[in-house]
Amino acid sequence: MPSAPNAATASPPDVDRSASRGPADGADHATDRAVPAVARLIRTEIPGPLSRELAGRRSAAVAKGVASVLPIFAASAGDGVLTDVDGNTLIDLGSGIAVTSVGAAPEVIEAIREQAGAFLHTCFMIAPYEGYVRVCEELNALTPGDHDKRTVLFNSGSEAVENAVKVARHATGRPAIVAFDHAYHGRTNLTMALTAKAMPYKSGFGPFAPEIYRVPMSYPYRDPAGLTGPQAAARAIDQIEKQIGADSLAAVLIEPIQGEGGFIVPAPGFLPAIAAWCRANGVVLIADEVQTGFCRTGDWFAAEHENVVPDLVTTAKGIANGMPLAALTGRAELMDAVHPGGLGGTFGGNPVSCAAAIATIELMRSQDLAGTARRIGEAALPRLHSLAERTGVIGDVRGRGAMLAIELVRPGTNEPDPQLTAAVAAACHAAGVLVLTAGTYKNVIRLLPPLVIPPEVLDEGLSVLEATLERLVTEGS
């Protein structure tokens, strides 16, 4: 069996030919957390024969519009390691896009089992159940601000954002919504309008919803005017006042750290200035914490880093560690402005998803995973900065906690290098490390490891990324 090309000269992946560890390994971890004996184990070429066979079936059965990052098919996953159907194991620095933060936690699996044994679904709009209420209580307590709050549960981040817009419009009686450059809020019709990037998210899918206005973000690395946070906020506010007017504006919607747009951390003071203007003008501030929430950035929510208290908060992804669940949490007077029956859905707040969320939140609290996320950032950031110095192709290193990114540019410029970015990601995958890309200019490598990733697995994953980038830069120069 040929092994995959070894992109990482520093530490080659283990190449196992004994077949002692297969895809079935890891199936029985309900009471015992899976500790990977070997994090990277390339047994076949990538993709292996079983993945290739599934890829053939996939292309005959699955619509092309759904693309996948990896050419392999998953058999099991957890705690920073993903095993494919051919028995190859990859270090997972993506967590299914910031979802499986607590990994293969036995507590979550057990909670799912228990709830599944009791009932799968009644529809909360028909026969309510405690788990839904408990998740809402948790969110009301955990989201920023100690004001009176209410929560409603949904299935996806997009749906939570759609409903945030519904609530803001209903409560204010105003039509307009402001979103930012580089924003990503989803793929439904309304959230496509809120999302900034045309390709692949919007191209050919219009017409889009009206009364959505886009204003400039604070993107310190690429801000042509080099504005500080408060200056960048003033620029956005000026545009809002001139082009929309506060009287017509229901809400300003913002990701406290932009996700798909490239892990853009606004300059300090930007978010507080936007929040202050919203408050002064009766405009609802919606923080889209779908990607940043649930300890990812080193606090429960990213708005907390600058003591910003949003009026509405959307959450999803990490909330239930992989079970589909999303939420909208906000000021009681806004949320309760909507008439009974105005919000909801058949599956929203599914009881099994709620059970998973309760167990996930409990683990995050008891194990202080926000602290763990901060420590992941402290371990990784110096290495990424040093990599930037050594290679000369990283224009910016940024992020918070376990939400980290490098922006790749052509040496000596800030010109985006999407080709190098794609090459680095592909070579990391071939070497057994899953990294994701992002960014308006497709030139960002982003790291979203599970918060429970063992330090030595994270260390190895970073070593592969470093060696891969260094090799590609050397080869290209």
Q: Which is nearer to ligand PMP, 288 or 466 (CB)?
A: 288
Nearest alpha-carbon partner for 323 in 113, 119, 23? 113
Q: Which is nearer to ligand PMP, 215 or 227 (CB)?
A: 215
**Residue 185 binds to ligand PMP (criterion: CB under 6 A):** yes
**Residue 181 binds to ligand PMP (criterion: CB under 6 A):** no
Q: Which is nearer to ligand PMP, 352 or 464 (CB)?
A: 352
Interacting span for ligand PMP (CB under 6 A) from 45-53, 286-294, 347-355, 455-463: 286-294
CA 430 to chain CA centroid, nearest Å: 23
**Residue 466 binds to ligand PMP (criterion: CB under 6 A):** no
Residue numbers 60-99 binding ligand PMP by CB under 6 A = 97
Least CB distance to ligand PMP at residue 39 (A) = 26
Least CB distance to ligand PMP at residue 194 (A) = 9
Token pair in block for residue 426: 């592909």
Least CB distance to ligand PMP at residue 18 (A) = 39
Q: Are strands 403-408 and 394-400 parallel, antiparallel or unpaired?
A: antiparallel
Nearest alpha-carbon partner for 266 in 241, 295, 243, 297? 297
Interacting span for ligand PMP (CB under 6 A) from 12-20, 215-223, 255-263, 371-379: 255-263
Residues 6+ apart with CB under 8 A from 24: 75, 76
Contact residue for ligand PMP among 156, 321, 391, 440 (CB under 6 A)? 156
User: Is the C-alpha dihedral spanning 128, 134, 139, 140 positive or negative?
Assistant: positive
Q: Which is nearer to ligand PMP, 43 or 185 (CB)?
A: 185
Contact residue for ligand PMP among 162, 181, 260, 304 (CB under 6 A)? 260
Give exposure, 102-119, as e/b (b: 16+ Cβ within 10 Å).
Answer: bbbbbbbbebbeebeeee
Interacting span for ligand PMP (CB under 6 A) from 168-176, 180-188, 227-235, 440-448: 180-188
- Check: CB of residue 387 under 8 Å from CB of residue 433: no
Residues contributing to the site for ligand PMP (CB under 6 A): 97, 156-158, 161, 184-186, 255, 259-260, 288, 290-291, 316
